[in-house]
Amino acid sequence: MDRLPASAFALPRVKRRADPGAPLALGFTTAYLSLIVVLPIAALVWASHRTSFRSVVSQPEAIAALKLSLGTAAVVSLVNAVLGTITAWVLVRDDFAGKRLVNAVIDLPFALPTIVAGLTLLALYGPHSPVGIRLAFTRAAIVLALLFVTLPFVVRTVQPVLHELDREAEEAARSLGATEARVFRSIVLPNILPGILSGVALAFARAVGEIGALVLIAGNIPYKTEVASVFVFNHIQSGDQAGAAAVAVVMLAISFALLLSIGGVRFLATRHERA
Amino acid sequence: MNVRRLDGARQERGTRLGLRFVALGYLLVVLLGPLSMVFWRSFDQGAGHLWRSLSDPNTVHAFRMTLIITAIAVPLNTVFGIVCALAIVRRRFPGAGAVNAIVDLPLALSPVVVGLSLFLLYGRTGWFGGYFERHGIQILFATPSMVIATIFISLPFVAREVVPTLREIGDEQEQAAHTLGAGGWATFWRITLPSIRWAVIYGVVLTTARCLGEYGAVAVVSGHIEGRTETATLRVQDAYENFDVPGAYGISLVLAAMSVLVLVAMTLLKPKEEAA
């Protein structure tokens, strides 16, 4: 069947050929995903379900860690939304010497190991700070480390949209007397908003889950600078797998919610194209 | 009128300079300032000291572990990424949405949660733990679990890059090849793969960067045993916490140099329309 050439008499666009590789490809994809991703996640959900979930999650230390993670992630998302958009705007609309280099450097946090990121921040803002700013072991240090690792997300989701944006609409608005602020609010922002939102959601997810950049600089003091991921890590180390699993499942739920919201933003943003 | 326009132009220029200042200042404080410190601190005590700390057997072993894990995880995820992208784009199968979501999950999930999941699966009381223990195979606190953790973390990158490219090129050429009698394999090797190769290579670069830099998941499952299950990133922490600060900076310098190479590759490979 699969060897038959598509005949001219065939109905237009029959279902795609059944090629011999199809079941194999699907089988491989499913098996690989199940083994690497689904089974471990199932084991986590199962383990958290077996312990008395509420008694663990209502532990004050766990609550404090989750609150700190969500709070710092919210601050970081907000800063990213504003400064990431400005950076994207400068990289697309502005022109200055060394712009290509700056543009390349934006991706560095994707390429740099997070533990190295933490160490570099410690070198500049740690106890031996050459600029006299000592932030190590404070919540400000957590925010700074998270800003470092999440820097590219909003820039890289807004930049291509801004690049594609038709500038004639802006010119028209300006010639009709709109102020720069009005042009931005009524024309630029609605176009780049889906990009900002999905970038922010990715940055938020990354910030909630980050550990590498934080272990050296945050100090990890319970109730003060211990974020959720470090809480989970410490409780695994001390053998309290149930406590770790309870908080980890909350983090898993947050990740799923963020992925869903990114999917939702994408769905709404492309509704004109689909219609 | 003329004056007003000049005024507007001046105002626009002011805004532009202001925004440029904000953006570059932000990059300097968050990114470039800290980064330049690694180079400075690494050579603080002279190149000889740097070389001594890098040639420490445990450090050498840590780099070897990182390279071995990367060499296993990257090819596996590359093959998976291509096959998975083909499955998502070219075949409409039930559950494609679920596959799509699962592939994205590692992007949004904490590495520590990944590590804990593997811990619970392969640990002594885990679902698979008993089986492997009876057969004398060490998974946790050994290379296998570190490889699996790294595969999980770096899973999405090739698939994410290939999916949009596959959508864009469409399947007309593949159809044509098929009409002319080419089998599935021939079509793949001679039509599909050449047209997605840059996306694949870009995905491979991103995957490699993620594997080299992985910390959280590996930290959980490896047990952090010096000279045995330490990767380069774990070694950085170990050196730092054991007051070998120059050593930590030295290893970081090598890792940072690797990521600069990755960055150069990313910049060169990036599709033209994205490069501003």
Measured between alpha carbons, how far is A171 from A159 in angstroms, rounded to an integer? 20
CB–CB contact B252 A119 (8 Å): yes
Interface predicted TM-score (ipTM): 0.89
Q: Where does residue A98 fall: left (phi above 0), alpha (psi -120 to 50 degrees), or beta otherwise?
A: left
Give residue B8's pLDDT.
65
The mean pLDDT value for B17-23 works out to 91
Check whether B7 has a pLDDT greater than 80.
no
| The pLDDT of residue A51 is above 90 | no
Sorted by where each starts, the structural domains of chain A and their CATH numbers stand as: 18-50 (no CATH), 54-274 (1.10.3720.10)
Query: Which has the minimum average pLDDT: A25-29, A41-45, B56-60, B217-221?
Result: A25-29
Pick the closest to residue B88 from B177, B151, B160, B179 (CA basis). B160
Q: How many CB atoms lie within 10 A of CB B254?
A: 16
> Is B182 an interface residue toward A (CB < 8 Å)?
no
- Please, which pLDDT band fits residue A11 given cuts at 50, 70 and 90? very low
A103: left (phi over 0), alpha (psi -120 to 50) or beta: alpha
Q: Which range among A75-84, A94-103, A211-220, B85-94 shows the weakest confidence by mean pLDDT? A: B85-94
Find the DSSP H helices in chain B.
Answer: 2-27, 33-42, 47-54, 57-90, 96-108, 111-122, 129-134, 143-153, 156-169, 172-179, 184-187, 193-213, 216-222, 232-241, 245-269
Nearest-by-Cβ selection for A124 from B34, B155, B213: B34
Closest chain A residue by Cα to residue B272: A160
More reliable by pLDDT, B108 or A57: B108
Which of B28, B90, B110 is the mutation pick for testing A, counting most A CBs within 10 A? B110
Q: Residue A68 and residue A219: Cα distance in Å, rounded?
A: 14
Instruction: Tell me which range, A136-145, B26-35, B262-271, is most confidently predicted by mean pLDDT.
Output: A136-145
Which of A58, A175, A99, A103 has its CA nearest to residue B8? A175
**Residue B98 DSSP SS3:** helix
Residue B104 CA to residue B87 CA, distance in Å, equals 15
User: A43-47, A84-88, A229-233: lowest mean pLDDT where?
Assistant: A43-47
Provide the shortest C-alpha distance from residue A255 to chain B (in Å).
Answer: 5
Banded pLDDT at A54 (limits 50, 70, 90):
low
A62 touches A231 (CB < 8 A): yes
Query: A190: Cβ–Cβ under 8 A, 6 or more apart, which residues?
Result: none
The pLDDT tens digits of the residues spanning B64-97 come to: 999 999 999 999 999 999 999 998 888 777 888 8
Phi-psi region of A219 (alpha: psi -120 to 50; beta: other; left: phi over 0): left
Residue A147 pLDDT: 96
- Beta-carbon contacts of B106 under 8 Å, excluding residues fewer than 6 positions away, are A37, B114, B152, B153, B154, B155, B156
Residue type present at position B255: L
Q: Which of A210, A220, A43 is nearest to B116 (CA)?
A: A43
User: Residues A225-239: pLDDT tens digits?
Assistant: 999 999 999 999 998
The residues, ordered by sequence, that sit 6+ positions from B86 with a Cβ below 8 Å of its Cβ are A25, B166, B192
Task: Tell me the three state secondary structure of residue B67.
Answer: helix
The Cα–Cα gap between A218 and A141 comes to 6
Q: What angle do CA B192, A26, B145 make, to 5 degrees?
A: 105
Chain-chain contact of A180 with B16 (C-beta, under 8 angstroms) = no
Does residue A272 carry a pLDDT above 80? Answer: no
Decide which of A269 and A7 is more confident. A269
User: How far is the C-alpha of B53 from the C-alpha of A213, rounded, in Å?
Assistant: 22
* CB nearest to B116's CB, from A44, A113, A180: A44
Question: What's the pLDDT tens digit per position in A119-167?
Answer: 999 988 988 888 888 888 999 999 999 999 999 999 999 999 999 998 8
What pLDDT is stored for residue B6 in this prediction?
A: 60
Whole-prediction pTM: 0.90
Chain A residues with CB under 8 Å of B35 CB are 108, 112, 120
User: What one-character DSSP code corresponds to residue B181?
Assistant: T
Tell me what pLDDT residue A14 has.
Answer: 42
Spatial distance between the Cα atoms of B70 and B114, rounded to a whole number of angstroms: 17
pLDDT digits (tens, 9 = 90+) for A208-228: 999 999 999 998 999 999 999
Q: What is the pLDDT of residue B216?
A: 95
Please, are residues B112 and B190 in contact by the beta-carbon 8 Å criterion?
no
pLDDT value of position A274: 64
pLDDT for B171 = 86
Cα separation, A141 vs A225, whole angstroms? 9
Mean of the per-residue pLDDT values of chain B: 88
Mean pLDDT of the region B197-207:
93
Residue A106, CA distances (Å) to A111, A148, A153, B30, B40 in order? 10, 10, 9, 11, 21
Average pLDDT, chain A: 87
Q: What is the reported pLDDT for B244?
A: 87
Indicate if the pLDDT at residue A105 is higher than 50.
Answer: yes
Rounded to the nearest 5°, which phi and psi values hold at B124? -55, -40
* pLDDT band (50, 70, 90) for residue A83: very high
Nearest to A255 among B105, B116, B178 (CB): B105
Question: Looking at the partner chain, which of B87, B126, B209 has a beta carbon nearest the beta carbon of A110?
Answer: B209
Of A121, A134, A142, which is closest to residue A68 (Cα–Cα)?
A142
pLDDT for the residue numbered B143 = 94
Is A53's pLDDT higher than 70? no
Phi, psi (5° rounding) for residue A6? Answer: -65, 120
Query: Are A252 and A44 a contacting pair, CB within 8 Å?
Result: yes
- pLDDT band for position A26 (50/70/90)? confident
Predicted pLDDT of residue A8: 44
Q: Among the ranges A50-59, A183-192, B70-79, which has the highest mean pLDDT value?
A: B70-79
Q: What contacts A186, CB < 8 A, 6 or more positions away?
A: A173, A178
Residue B259 and residue A125: Cβ atoms within 8 Å? no
What pLDDT is attached to residue A269? 83
Handedness of CA A233, A239, A244, A245 (dihedral sign): positive
In angstroms, the first-to-last Cα distance of chain B is 35
What mean pLDDT do residues B166-192 have?
88
Q: Does the pLDDT of residue B125 top 90, yes or no?
A: no
What is the arithmetic mean of pLDDT over B145-173? 94
Residues of chain B contacting residue A159, judged by C-beta atoms under 8 Å apart: 274, 276
User: What is the per-residue pLDDT for A12?
Assistant: 46
